[in-house]
Amino acid sequence: MEFKTVVFYALSAVLIFASLRVITARNPVVAALHLILAFFSAGGIWALLQAEFLAISIVLVYVGAVMVLFLFVVMMLDINLDRIREGFWSYLPLGAIVGIVMVAELGAVLGANYVGVLEADAPQTPAGTSNTKALGRLIYTDFVYPFELASVILLVAIIAAIAITYRGPKKTKYTDPAKQIRVQAKDRVRVLQMPAEKQD
């Protein structure tokens, strides 16, 4: 067996195990940690397919940023496991149907082209080309409108998130650093002249 194949099977095994633990782990933090492991192994598999940009960006974006915020939220929530488990059997049929439909769709999309994925040759790129550069060129030339559209959607989401959480201007007292710097002694200290009083 080739070294690459060994690495592929090892990464896939970790990926499958981690994904299973995401849905079976009792503790939500442990589940989130396994999701991180799953992302990381998926990045490894992409790197094997010479998709270096995708591999690194899944680590950078999902592992390094999204999951950190996820963990933040999960750690601070007070999650009652029994309450979550209550409706498990009543939700199961609906969940199973959605799951099967998703698997079927993915299978239909991927299966058409890649049924013989093990036999197919991995796409060979000539040495010295960087797919990061190629991807960047494509995004800003051929696919510039979809790309800009996606960024506008993200911007809308950001503004919406701010609009939802914004609760009006701050009513509490707070310090303005610019004002603090500009302050002078005469603003704070008042020198009083008082005539000495005689005691009698």
Partner 1 sequence: MDTLLQYFSGMFGSAWPLVWSLAKIVAIVAPLMLGVAYLTFWERKVIGWMQVRIGPNRVGPWGLIQPIADGVKLLLKEIVIPTKSSTWIFLMAPGLAIAPALACWAVIPFNDTLVLANIDASLLYVMAIASIGVYGIILSGWASNSKYAFLGGMRAAAQMISYEIAMGFALVTVLMVSNGLNLADIVRAQDKGMFAEHGLGFLSWNWLPLLPMFVVYLISGVAETNRAPFDVAEGESEIVGFHAEYSGMAFALFFLAEYANMILIAALTSIMFLGGWLSPVGFLPDSIIWLFGKMAFILLLFLWFRATFPRYRYDQLMRLGWKVFIPVCLVWLTVVGVWMMSPWNIWK
Question: Is residue 57 part of the contact set for partner 1 (CB under 8 A)?
Answer: yes
What separation, in Å, do the N-terminal and C-terminal C-alpha atoms of the chain show? 110
Q: How far is the CB of 187 from partner 1 (least distance, A)?
A: 21
Query: In this structure, which amino acid lies at residue 96?
Result: A
**Could you tell me which stretch among 59-67, 90-98, 113-121, 160-168 binds partner 1 (CB under 8 A)?**
59-67
Q: 39, 59 in Cβ contact below 8 A? A: yes
Question: Is residue 130 part of the contact set for partner 1 (CB under 8 A)?
Answer: yes
Q: Residues 22, 45, 51, 56: which binds partner 1 (CB under 8 A)?
A: 56
Query: Residue 121 or 176: which CB sits closer to partner 1?
Result: 176
Residue 43 contacts by C-beta under 8 Å, 6 or more apart in sequence?
Answer: 54, 55, 56, 58, 59, 63
Question: Is residue 54 part of the contact set for partner 1 (CB under 8 A)?
Answer: no
Closest CA to 14 of 47, 43, 37: 37
* The Cα angle at residue 35 between residues 33 and 37, in degrees rounded to 5: 75
Residue 66 contacts by C-beta under 8 Å, 6 or more apart in sequence?
Answer: none
> What number of chain residues touch partner 1 (CB under 8 A)?
24
Q: Residues 33, 35, 38, 42: which binds partner 1 (CB under 8 A)?
A: 33
Q: How far is the CB of 163 from partner 1 (least distance, A)?
A: 19
Q: Which residues bind partner 1 (CB under 8 A)?
A: 27, 29-30, 33, 36, 52-53, 56-57, 59-60, 63-65, 68-69, 71-72, 75-76, 130, 132-133, 177
